[in-house]
Amino acid sequence: MPIYIYKVKEGLRGCKFCKEGFEVFQKINEEPLKRCPKCGEEVIRIFSSFSVGFSKTGLDRRAKEKGFHKLKKVDKGKYEKLY
């Protein structure tokens, strides 16, 4: 499943969450996020990758090293923070 990393748009305030960037698992045909699920500020997708070729733990570690939070979509418009 592709993992997308979002960050608040440059110049916008955002919150701690989207300023640091967060990862979202989304289906390939899902619309990219336009707004931070926490504060509603506009976000941009800065990086995306497929988990193919990476072990899950490797990805998690990489994300943690970069200080990204990880979100899992649990429902339409609802995200669960994994860390």
Which residues make up the interface to Zn ion (CB under 5 A)?
14-15, 17-18, 36, 38-39, 41
Cβ proximity to Zn ion, 39 vs 54, nearer residue: 39
The distance of closest approach from Cβ of residue 70 to Zn ion in the complex, given in angstroms and rounded to an integer, is: 15
H or E stretch covering 10: none
Read off the tokens for 19: 């300023």
The 3-state secondary structure of 44-81, one letter per residue: EEEEEEECCCCCHHHHHHHHHHHCCEEEEEEECCEEEE
Q: Cβ of residue 79: shortest distance to Zn ion, in angstroms? A: 12
CB closer to Zn ion out of 14 and 63: 14
